[in-house]
Every structure is written in C-alpha cells, then in structure tokens.
Amino acid sequence: MKNTVNEHIELNQVKVKDGFWDKRTRLITDKVIPYQWDALNDNIPDVPPSHSVENFRIAAGITTGEFKGMPFQDSDAAKWIEAASYSLINEPNAELEQLIDELVDLIAYAQKDDGYLNTYFTVAKPDQKWQDISHGHELYCAGHMIEAAVAYYQATSKDKLLQVVCKFADLIDNLIGPEEGKMKIYPGHPEIELALVRLYEVTKETRYLKLAEFFVKERGHHSKFMSQEKSFALGRKDKWFQLDYHQAHLPMEEQTTAEGHSVRAMYLYCAMADLALETGDAKLLEQSKTLWDNAVNKRMYITGALGSQGHGERFTIDYDLPNDVAYAETCASIGLVFWAHRMAKLEVNREYADAMERALYNGVISGMSLDGEKYFYVNPLEVFPKQANYRHDHAHVETERVGWFGCACCPPNIARLTTSIGQYIYTQNHNAIFTHLYIGNESSFNVNGKEVNITQQRNYPYNGDISITVNPAEEVAFDFYVRIPGWCDSYTLKVDGEKIAADENMVNGYVKIVKTWDKACKIELNLEMPVKKMRSHPKVKENAGKIALQRGPVVYCLEEIDNGEDLMNITIPKQAEFNVIDQPDLLDGIVTLVGDGYRITAQPTSNQLYQSHEFTEEPVQLTAVPYSHWGNRKPGEMLVWVRES
Amino acid sequence: MKNTVNEHIELNQVKVKDGFWDKRTRLITDKVIPYQWDALNDNIPDVPPSHSVENFRIAAGITTGEFKGMPFQDSDAAKWIEAASYSLINEPNAELEQLIDELVDLIAYAQKDDGYLNTYFTVAKPDQKWQDISHGHELYCAGHMIEAAVAYYQATSKDKLLQVVCKFADLIDNLIGPEEGKMKIYPGHPEIELALVRLYEVTKETRYLKLAEFFVKERGHHSKFMSQEKSFALGRKDKWFQLDYHQAHLPMEEQTTAEGHSVRAMYLYCAMADLALETGDAKLLEQSKTLWDNAVNKRMYITGALGSQGHGERFTIDYDLPNDVAYAETCASIGLVFWAHRMAKLEVNREYADAMERALYNGVISGMSLDGEKYFYVNPLEVFPKQANYRHDHAHVETERVGWFGCACCPPNIARLTTSIGQYIYTQNHNAIFTHLYIGNESSFNVNGKEVNITQQRNYPYNGDISITVNPAEEVAFDFYVRIPGWCDSYTLKVDGEKIAADENMVNGYVKIVKTWDKACKIELNLEMPVKKMRSHPKVKENAGKIALQRGPVVYCLEEIDNGEDLMNITIPKQAEFNVIDQPDLLDGIVTLVGDGYRITAQPTSNQLYQSHEFTEEPVQLTAVPYSHWGNRKPGEMLVWVRES
C-alpha cells in the first residue's frame, strides 16, 4: 500500500542551528511552553482561565465541577504536549518531561473504559456523543491528541499516550466507517485524518490509514447528517456557515476550489496529500494539485496568508484579496506549511517549498510578537487603526497583538511548528535528498543503508549565501537536490569549488546534483537577493497600481513609526531603488529597505472634502521593515501594498 | 416667536417646467404613484404584499386580520399621500384626488377616539403603546402622517386629514412634554419634529412648535427610558445600535458630529434648522452649522451620499468613506436635500445649495431607474458585482436596482421629493429672493405686497447657460440673489444685456443684484462647465491617488458596458482631457465624457498571483456617464474614483 519512494524524516535526524530560528525556538522552549503550561493550568493572574487541565481532572473524576471553555478545549492541552515533545527532541528537559508525564497520566485517567476521550462530551454532554459533528470538534480533538501521542512517543519512546489514542482510534474505527452498521460521518473540522495517517506511520496499523481514507473520501457525500444537526442549524440562515464552510458542499472528488473555513481546508488537504503519498492514489494527487493551484495561485495573500473574509474565517472567490479586512489566520498559514511540505514529497516542484517559505517567513511568524508574549490571530496586510478599531466590517481585525486567547488555537500552533521546524527542511526519496528550506542544521540521513551527514550554514532570510556540507560515512551514490527559490532570478552553485551549470541540471526549480559522494563535499549556493517590487495578478482589485517590496522570501511593509501617519498618501516611483540596510539592533536584528518615495506635502489649505486642485508632493525617504516584524514597537498604521507612481 | 425674515414658499408658487425634471415628475405622476397605490393595496402580482392599506382596514374594524409588514408600514401610505398631493398641486387629477379621499376616510376610521393613530400598535400591540420608542416608529409614523395631511391640505384645501393629525398631535402633546406628569421621551427615529413645525406653519398652533422643540432639545437627556426598552435590547450587545445610533448618546446641545443612522440624523437636523428659523434660537443655528460642517466636510461622499457603513446604516468616523461598502442610502441623500434647503434659509452661504444640488443630481436620483420601476436603497460609488454579490461585508449592496421593497422607504421618498422639487429652487427673505437651483420654472412671489413673476429657462445640469426673467406686476425694489455654484470657477452674469461685475457683488457665493425692478428684466447667467478632475481630502484613505470626473454638478462614473471589465485596471493620466459629448438618445439624453486613459494590455503570460514584472499598458478611450444613470443598461462593474497616472 505504501508509496515507497518517500522516506519519513524523523525530527531527531535534523538538528536546527540557525540564527533566525534558534531565537524563536529558544523563546518557545524557555518562555512560551512554560507560559502555556501555566495557562492550561489556570495559573496566570489576569488571564481568563483556560480550564483545559481542570476539564481533564473533572472528566477523570479526580475533582468535580463543570466543563468550561470551548468544545475543543482539549486540543489546547494536546497541542501543548505536541510542542513540548518536539522541544524535548531538540533539547532534553527532565522537568518538562515530568510535567508531560503527569498530564498524560491525567489524560489516561480521563479516558472512558470503551476508549472514549473528550472532556467536553464526557462532562458536559454525555448523551450527545457523535451528534455534533459539524461544530462539536470531537474528532478534531481526537486528531490533536493523536498527534500529541505520536510526537511524545517519538520524543521519549514512552507509549502510554500512544496506547490511549490507539484505544480511542479503535473505538472510532468501530463506530465509523464504510462497513455496514457503522456511522457514515466525517468531522466538521478536519484534523483526525492527517493524525490517523501519522498514527499509521508509527503503528503500521492499516485500519488507521483506511479510516483516514474513509473520512477524506466520504466527505461531501451523504452530508445530510451534518446539515440536520442542531449545532449546524445555528448557522442555517447564514450562507457562510453552510456545507461549504466545512468543505462538505460537494463530494470530495468533485472539489476543485479551496472553499470554506481556511484552517479546516488546509488540514483536509494535508490528509489528501498524505493519502496520495501513502496509497499512491493518482486521482488524489491530481486533485491535490488542482486544489493547490486554486488556493495558492488565486486565493493566497503575498504573505502566504489564507482566508479573505472574517465572517466564516474563510476563503471567498478567486482574486478576492482585500488587504484591510483579510482574515489571514495564523493557523491557516501554518496549515499551508503543513500542506506544502506534503505536496513537496509528492512532486518535485519548487512551487510547494516556495509557498511554504512564503508562509513561514511572513504570515506565520507575524502571528507572534518578538517577546513571545502576544499573538495575532488575524494578519491583514494593511492596518489603519482608526478605521479598523471602529468599523463593523473590521471587527475581526486586531490592530495590536493580544495575549493568550479564549479560543487559543494560534499560539500553541506556532509553538508546535517552531519546535519542529527542522522536519520541513529536507525530504528524502530513497536515493534522493531534497533541500527545500535554507535553515542552518546538522542532519543525518540513511541512504541505501549508509549514513550521510549534512550541515547547512547560512544567514537566511536576509542573506542568500548558503553553505551545505554533504559528508557520507562511506562512499554512496545519490542525487542531492538544491532548491532555487522562485523569487531568485540569478544564482551560482559550486560543488567543491567548481561552478556547475545549474540550468542544465534544473528539475522544476531544483538543481539536481548527481554524484557518488565519498567525503565531505562542500556545496556553495549564492542566491542573489535584490529588492523586488512585486505586483499582483491584474484580477486582484485591491492591489491595482500597487507594489509590495520583497527581498528574498521576506515581504516588507511600511509602518507609521518609520514613515509617519496616513501611509495611503505615500507612493513609490517606478524608478525608485531601495538600499538594503543591516540593522542588527532593530527588532532582534533585521534588514530594512530604505528608498525614495513621495508623499503629499501637507494638508490642503481648504477644509473642502472634494476639490479639483492637484496636491503637491515632496520626496521622502521610506523605510520598510519585514511584515512579520510589524507591530512590535508601538501601535500605528501598517501597509504592505503601496501605490506606485 | 417667528423669525420673520423668511417667507415660506408654497409649492403652488413655483411651477416647474424643466427638461430634466419634467421627465422624472411625469414618471412619478403617471407611473410611480399609480404603481405605489397598487402596491399599498396589494394589487401587484409577484410582489410581496405591502399590506399597508389592509392594516388601516383592520385597525378601522372594517375587516379582520393580523397586522403585517414593518412597524412603520403606515408611513408608506402617508408618504404616498404626500407625493400624490404634490402631484395634484402640479397637475389636478380628479381620479387621484378621489383615491386619496378614500384613503383619508379610511385613515380617519382607523383613528381611535382619543386621537391615537397607528395600525401596528392598534392591531398588533395594543397594550404596548409608547413603550417601544427606540424601534417602534410610533412617533415617526405620526410625523409622516402629519406631513401627508399638510401636503394634502395645501393641495386641495381639504382639512379632513389635517383634523385627524391635529387630534393625534394634541394627544401626543398631552402625553409627552416638559410639563410635570408628561412623559419625557423622544422618538428613536426623528421625523415628527420637522412634521410638527410644518403643522405649526399651517395651523399657527404654537403647542406644536413647542412640542417639536421639546423633542429636539430633550434628545440625549434622560435616555435611560430608551436604552431600557425591550426592543432597544435587541441591539444591546451590538455597539452599532446603542444610543448614538439614535443620536441620543449626548445631550443634544453637546452633539457636534454627525453620528448614527444617517436618515435619522438628517431628519433630526432638519428639525433643528426649522426651530432655529422659527424661534431665532442662535445656539441651535450655531450647532446646526457645526453639525453641517462635520457631515458635509468630513462624512459625505462626492455624490452627496451619507452613511459609510451598512451595519447600522450609519455614519462612522471622519474621512472614513469606503466606496464599495458605502451604505449611502437614497433616503439619507434626500434628507440632506431637506436639511440643506433649511440651512439655506438660515444663512446666505452657497455651501448649502451646493450640497443640495450635489445630492439631487447624484445620490438622490441614482435611487430610481430611468423607467421608474426599480430602486437602489444603497448607492455605493464602486460596484464589482462578483465581490459585491459574494462577500459578507457587501451584503447590503445591491448590484442592480430592485423592485418595490419589503421596507419601502426609498421609493415613496423619491416620489415626494421629485413631485415637490419646485420648492427647493428659491427662498425668499422679505425683500430678497435667492435662486439656489437652476431648474426651469414659472413662479410668482409676493414682495412687499407686490406680485413678481420669475421664470427660468435652462438646459441644466448639462449646460450652464441660464436665462432668468424677473417680471414684477408693478415697480418694486428688492434684492435678487443668483447662486454661483461652488463647482464653477468662471462665469458671466448679464442683467438686461449688461455684464455686471459679479465678484464685487458676491455675498458668500451669491451675486446680489440690487435693483428696483419695473419691467421684465432678463438675467443671463453663463456658468462655465469644464470637466473637472476632483480629488478627495488626503485623509480619505480610499481615494488616495484617485480622481473623480465631475462636470457642473454631475459626478461621472465608468461602467463596464462602456469600458470593459476589471475597471480597477484603468488609469487616467494627469494630462488627459475629456470631451463633452451630447448623447440625446442615450439613457434618456445625457452628456458623456470621453477621454484618454490607459489599461493593462492583457493578462500576464504567467498564471502567477505575484511576480515582479511590470505590466504593459495600452491607451484606451474611456467613456464616463453620469453616476446617477448607472445600472440602467445591463449589470456590470461601476467605478466613480479612478486611479490617476
């Protein structure tokens, strides 16, 4: 059944050592994971209690009380375990492991004898299990618990939580599936599908893979069960919460456009790609590519953000990408990273890693403040605080990052992605290793039974000089693929000091180095990183006549603190060139872009709202900072797409 | 009490004979009023029944049944009577008068013995009178019935309906007011205030004027009665339906910005101006001017439209004027005409007539299709149907005019304004006559007891040559003021063939002609009407870098039918000149503007959403049509503010 061409890369194969990411991982490990532990345990003054751990205690019968929080509150604990487990892989920590063990014990206590595990339904709605599939998040929480269990098992080889989730998965498999007598249902919020594939990878239990396949392929069929639910009815009159919100509007095999809640969509598409990989299903692969093309080439912001509308947190229509009212949820960009990584395993095409990188360096990391204490759920590309704080149609927009949320999906999602960032750098396809991301690391691979060590040194994303060492323990022949990012028009590649004709060896954006490797071999890649003025497809109404500054994978923005207020009155002339300024002391060390622009000189002399005189403009020096770093100094306006003059 | 400097101009003094307006008045008289009569009587197949007349029958006990429709359904009948009455003044029609008489009889039957008159509360909520002040529209409907009665009395001298409303007004005056024991309440939706002033003007009963004054000045005081109402609570959690929605957030005398529901605001401000005029209250005048400055110079669209947000149909904050999600209700622009007309009586300043004219020729008449059959409630300045028909934040936007509505406020409002357009042309201040609007008419005035006939001939708004004849029955000295519109930079004015130094005689935008008039005197005014590229105040984010074409008072737009799709890709170069093309056969006869623009040549070769190549542009010929006439051919995109290149 397994599509054998792809090897799974374990996180412990790849040790990240990277100036850019280590700071973030450090922050997650030292600050965010302990903070989130306290949050889950309601130990943070002035922050509304999460009640997540307490819910497990109540479900376990250790204490009494009512369930509190969102129906998916369990998933916060699960995502924390997942992130904490990754941090253990990166760096052992007996104290943290002890905390996880205690939480795992508690979760095991909370599991019912038949395997059922969900504190919301156990405590609050014991008679309504499997009846609130559209919004109850029962299978969603199961999915996150499975991911947590797999991660913890991989980190510690401790299988207690794995046994718990297998028992729960067995229960689900007994209740739901294609066989007669089983329920033909699938979750409102996908997540369990990709989790079941991970569980299959660890346990080799094909029932889990088949159940994942059922959930994906059954989707959109017989959807009445969902639309007739009581909780579905909450949105019955609201066209934004119909079946398409759940990606259940069409039989799955007929879906060709990215629709509905964007995080739900991403998690679902991840599972489609997983299944295509595991089962070799060519139809699933083709459909994944079709959905990818629609999502990434018609419905994605330049920051790798997804979701053009706050109401329904969702996709809308092709090329509808308003900047100021974007939803652009951090979790959706994280989902895009997950999906892109899977697609990159399925097909040699840099488009996937390009999007992964775009999301990572922009729409994902924008979600967390540089001190790790505050978060953006929503990542619009243009913020004018006066309007955004006032207007009803901007109600979903936060003009400043905020603390731990009531619905705390994004912070733990950032934590689990950051602590596992190493697994997105490479993929291996038997006798081929692909380098997708330029993140410093020391890694080891098994190629044809032989150990190969690979290291990367770089100062990405602000510098395009990348040094890779490939060092096999003994002689071994394999192909090493080096990605030339889509944003890069000019580059050189040297292998052991010898320039190689990269274009001749280019395979869909990767330079293929065919070689018998027998000693430490040095690959030097230089990616030129000029400042680029990016333009949107002309069908994107909001960006007509506007440019966005991008250098390497980093999208830039103007902030009020650097450029004054009323950013809409700034233009960048066609001929303007931007200088690249290294600013090691600014915003944890960034590169700013400084160049010439114009802005209206002063307010018009008259108070008139409309008049026919031209405004005078004066040259101004503009300073752009990475979009991901905006809002870390003081509140104010922010603008990615600037008018070109 | 009366501020004696202003004379009331009766509609029958001014007989409109005007190429532009006669067509519309004809349409209202021949088609809309009969159609609306059928609609009120539920006689139109395929249109949801209004039930308005039926409600009166039920309330009168003539038939049985339930109240149906909006709580303010009575006002539809009232506005119809008002419009029909004006049409009788313009043109007697025995059959129509008979219909009105029958409806008046019915309304009189429906009135309770104590004077109470409201079918919603009589039939549906008999025990809840005067308890749903925020949303029940009880006083609002009373106001419209009073306006109807006054109009019908002025048209026919029949006072049956006038007696009905006086009895009702007396009841209200007994229940509500400053005196001890009376309720200290004021309506959620202002309207009765201005109506009571009209009733006072006809009846000279000062109690009505004082009650109007109470309603206005009490506003915002002791507002607990409103916020504690059950119906107010419907919106308690919604910040857009709080006290400011009702202009009751601050004591009236402290309100300096136009807030809340824009139609409510306009009707309230009309009453403030009425009271300032009738009572000579200097504070009310100053406050009116402050509110005017805020509404017109910070919160008005270039089309004279008001209301920047659909949710709450309301004002937002200064300079927040999004084009695509504007509410810009037709009724609010009509309200602005009402208010501007009153302000023009209070102060010699062309700003008022400028705004009145701007609203009339743009945001008001855009509300009705050229065949009189379809209506826009909402008048955005930019419509991209794909987005507008899909997005949740555009849910209030109609991309095409629609038929008679469930909430049918706009169509009868257009009807009553159009049939009474004559009363907005002139004001008289004892020995001074002011010409505010250039609409063809034959009028007669009484100046110092002597009859003065005035005629206007013009081909406005597409031609700036205006011929006015002032013809007194006998010699009389008075000042005749001729408005030079704010949009006009160059003009000539001749009196009996002799050019007069207009600038020296300019008073706040009016040329003052001081003269003893003794025979037919011909005033020839030539207003130059070049095509102007209008710009917004730089604080208006949405219009940065954009221009709107305006010629005379007419704001133009680009339509897809003339200029192809994707209008956002069109630019107008700074040096572009537009030719004025007379198109007598297009859209009932308009003048189009034709000039050079650019647009992106073709779709980019790549499917990429973001890339760094410049697009090639090609010159194109652009055709702009009056904004008010858009959407009369076929559905498509429309754009007022075009990017300048």
Are residues B539 and A566, on separate chains, in Cβ contact within 8 Å?
yes
**Among residues B240, B393, B245, B376, which one has the least CA distance to residue B325?**
B393
**Among residues B632, B595, B586, B193, which one has the least CA distance to residue B372?**
B632
The predicted pLDDT at position B607 comes to: 80
| CA of B471 vs chain A CAs: smallest distance (Å) | 37
d(CA B132, CA B79) in angstroms, rounded, equals: 22
Q: B433 and B322 share a domain?
A: no
Are residues A320 and B532, on separate chains, in Cβ contact within 8 Å?
no
The predicted pLDDT at position A405 comes to: 62
Last residue of a domain, one of B496, B527, B558: B527
Residue B384 lies in a domain: yes
Residue B194 lies in a domain: yes
Span A132-156, average pLDDT: 96
Q: How many CA atoms lie within 13 A of A403 on its CB side?
A: 10
Q: B547 and B461 share a domain?
A: no
Q: Is there a contact between B29 and B419 (Cβ–Cβ < 8 Å)?
A: yes
Q: What is the mean pLDDT of chain A?
A: 94
pLDDT digits 0-9 by tens, B475-507 = 999 999 999 999 999 999 999 999 988 778 999
- Asked whether the predicted pLDDT for residue B572 surpasses 60, the reply is yes
Residue whose tokens read 């190969």: A452
> Which of A512-521, B61-70, B223-232 is least confident?
B223-232
Q: B451 and B594 share a domain?
A: no
d(CA A146, CA A215) in angstroms, rounded, equals: 16
Q: A517 and A544 share a domain?
A: no
Chain A environment of B566 (Cβ under 8 Å): 538-539, 541
d(CA B336, CA B322) in angstroms, rounded, equals: 19
Q: Is there a contact between B55 and B67 (Cβ–Cβ < 8 Å)?
A: yes
The predicted pLDDT at position B4 comes to: 42
Chain B environment of A538 (Cβ under 8 Å): 566, 569, 600, 603-604, 615
**Among residues A386, A341, A382, which one has the least CA distance to residue A359?**
A341
Are residues B390 and A539, on separate chains, in Cβ contact within 8 Å?
no
pLDDT digits 0-9 by tens, A608-631 = 899 999 999 999 999 999 999 999
| CA of A121 vs chain B CAs: smallest distance (Å) | 29
Q: What percent of chain B has pLDDT over 90?
A: 87
Residue B603 vs residue A187, higher pLDDT: A187
Are residues A535 and B393, on separate chains, in Cβ contact within 8 Å?
no
Q: B40 and B150 share a domain?
A: yes
Catalytic residue (choose from A54, A313, A542, A637): A313
Chain B environment of A571 (Cβ under 8 Å): 545
- The token pair at B553 is 């008072």
B521 is catalytic: no
Are residues B386 and A548, on separate chains, in Cβ contact within 8 Å?
no
Are residues B611 and A534, on separate chains, in Cβ contact within 8 Å?
yes
Q: B461 and B561 share a domain?
A: no
pLDDT digits 0-9 by tens, A399-452 = 999 887 655 778 889 999 999 999 999 999 989 999 999 999 999 999 999 999
Residue B5 lies in a domain: no
User: By CA distance, what is A319's nearest residue in B?
Assistant: B609
The predicted pLDDT at position B525 comes to: 96
Residue B66 lies in a domain: yes
Last residue of a domain, one of A243, A259, A276: A243
- The token pair at A496 is 């052991």
pLDDT digits 0-9 by tens, A340-352 = 999 999 999 999 9
Phi, psi of A533 (to 5 degrees): -95, 105
pLDDT digits 0-9 by tens, B145-158 = 999 999 999 999 99
Residue whose tokens read 């274009």: A503
Q: Out of B387, B535, B545, whose CB is closest to A611? A: B535
Are residues A311 and B608, on separate chains, in Cβ contact within 8 Å?
no
d(CA A520, CA A455) in angstroms, rounded, equals: 10
Determine the angle formed by the axes of helices B206-218 and B262-279, rounding to 10 degrees. Answer: 130
d(CA A633, CA A624) in angstroms, rounded, equals: 14
User: By CA distance, what is B311's nearest residue in A?
Assistant: A392
Residue B405: pLDDT band with limits 50, 70, 90: low
**Among residues B310, B369, B284, B420, which one has the least CA distance to residue B587?**
B369
In three-state secondary structure terms, B599 is strand
- Asked whether the predicted pLDDT for residue A388 surpasses 80, the reply is yes
Are residues A390 and B316, on separate chains, in Cβ contact within 8 Å?
yes
d(CA B117, CA B133) in angstroms, rounded, equals: 15
Chain A environment of B610 (Cβ under 8 Å): 302, 534-537, 548
In three-state secondary structure terms, A310 is coil
The predicted pLDDT at position A605 comes to: 64
Last residue of a domain, one of B424, B449, B484: B424
Span A582-595, average pLDDT: 97
Residue B4 lies in a domain: no
How many domains are contained in chain B?
A: 3
User: By CA distance, what is A542's nearest residue in B?
Assistant: B568
- Asked whether the predicted pLDDT for residue A339 surpasses 50, the reply is yes
Residue B627: pLDDT band with limits 50, 70, 90: very high
Span A152-177, average pLDDT: 97
Q: A203 and A113 share a domain?
A: yes
Q: Which of A257, A358, A612 best probes binding to B when mutated, by most B CB atoms within 10 angstroms? A: A612
Are residues A387 and B611, on separate chains, in Cβ contact within 8 Å?
no
The predicted pLDDT at position A3 comes to: 42
Are residues B604 and A538, on separate chains, in Cβ contact within 8 Å?
yes
B331 is catalytic: no
| CA of B190 vs chain A CAs: smallest distance (Å) | 24
Span A239-250, average pLDDT: 94
- Asked whether the predicted pLDDT for residue B124 surpasses 50, the reply is yes
* Cα distances (Å, whole numbers) of residue A531 to A52, A629, B86, B295, B606: 46, 18, 67, 44, 21
Catalytic residue (choose from B409, B410, B488, B557): B409
> Residue B244 CB: number of other CB atoms within 10 A?
21
Residue A235 vs residue B24, higher pLDDT: B24
Q: A179 and A57 share a domain?
A: yes
User: By CA distance, what is A391's nearest residue in B?
Assistant: B316
pLDDT digits 0-9 by tens, B196-212 = 999 999 999 999 999 99
Torsion sign, CA atoms B51, B52, B55, B60:
negative
| CA of A295 vs chain B CAs: smallest distance (Å) | 10
Residues 6+ apart with CB under 8 A from B512: B479, B480, B481, B505, B506
The predicted pLDDT at position A603 comes to: 65
Span B618-641, average pLDDT: 97
| CA of B546 vs chain A CAs: smallest distance (Å) | 11
Of all helices (H) and strands (E), which one includes residue B233? helix B230-233
Q: B504 and B592 share a domain?
A: no
Domain that holds residue B470: 426-527
Span A211-217, average pLDDT: 98
**Among residues B102, B112, B103, B127, which one has the least CA distance to residue B60?**
B112
d(CA A113, CA A107) in angstroms, rounded, equals: 13
User: By CA distance, what is A241's nearest residue in B?
Assistant: B392
Q: A538 and A523 share a domain?
A: no
Are residues A537 and B610, on separate chains, in Cβ contact within 8 Å?
yes
Residue B37: pLDDT band with limits 50, 70, 90: very high
CATH label of the domain that carries residue B521: 2.60.40.1180
- Asked whether the predicted pLDDT for residue A4 surpasses 50, the reply is no
HEC secondary structure over B479-496: EEEEECCCCCCCEEEEEC
| CA of A531 vs chain B CAs: smallest distance (Å) | 10
Residue B2: pLDDT band with limits 50, 70, 90: very low
- Asked whether the predicted pLDDT for residue B61 surpasses 90, the reply is yes
Q: Which of A238, A387, A609 best probes binding to B when mutated, by most B CB atoms within 10 angstroms? A: A609
Q: Out of B312, B609, B614, whose CB is closest to A297? A: B609
| CA of B390 vs chain A CAs: smallest distance (Å) | 7
Are residues B393 and A390, on separate chains, in Cβ contact within 8 Å?
no
Instruction: State ipTM.
Output: 0.94
Residue B44: pLDDT band with limits 50, 70, 90: confident
* Cα distances (Å, whole numbers) of residue A343 to A34, A271, A426: 33, 11, 13
pLDDT digits 0-9 by tens, B317-364 = 999 999 999 999 999 999 999 999 999 999 999 999 999 999 999 999
Phi, psi of B338 (to 5 degrees): -60, -45
> Residue B600 CB: number of other CB atoms within 10 A?
19
Q: B17 and B130 share a domain?
A: yes
**Among residues A587, A582, A585, which one has the least CA distance to residue A632?**
A587
The predicted pLDDT at position A298 comes to: 97
Catalytic residue (choose from B278, B313, B542, B637): B313
Are residues B320 and A386, on separate chains, in Cβ contact within 8 Å?
yes
| CA of A242 vs chain B CAs: smallest distance (Å) | 13
The predicted pLDDT at position B7 comes to: 76
Chain A environment of B540 (Cβ under 8 Å): 609
Q: Out of B390, B538, B569, whose CB is closest to A569? A: B538
Q: B539 and B484 share a domain?
A: no
Span B594-620, average pLDDT: 88
- Asked whether the predicted pLDDT for residue B3 surpasses 50, the reply is no
d(CA A561, CA A577) in angstroms, rounded, equals: 21
Q: What percent of chain A has pLDDT over 90?
A: 87
- The token pair at B75 is 């006002």
Between chain A and chain B, the number of residue pairs with CB atoms below 8 A apart is: 140
HEC secondary structure over A504-566: HHEECCEEEEEEEECCCEEEEEEECCCEEEEEECCCCHHHCCEEEEEECCEEEEEEHHHHCCC
**Among residues A385, A279, A312, A262, which one has the least CA distance to residue A1?**
A279
Using CA atoms in the order A515, A520, A524, A525, what is the torsion angle rounded to 10 degrees? 60
Q: Out of A311, A537, A550, whose CB is closest to B392? A: A311
In single-letter form, the type of residue at position B260 comes to: G
Residue A101 lies in a domain: yes
Are residues B537 and A393, on separate chains, in Cβ contact within 8 Å?
no
Residue B2 lies in a domain: no
**Residues A1-11, buried b or exposed e (16+ Cβ, 10 A)?**
eeeeebbebeb
The predicted pLDDT at position B233 comes to: 72
Q: Is there a contact between A37 and A80 (Cβ–Cβ < 8 Å)?
A: yes
Q: How many CA atoms lie within 13 A of A545 on its CB side?
A: 23
Residue B1: pLDDT band with limits 50, 70, 90: very low
In single-letter form, the type of residue at position B527 comes to: L
Q: What percent of chain B has pLDDT over 70?
A: 98
Residue B270 lies in a domain: yes
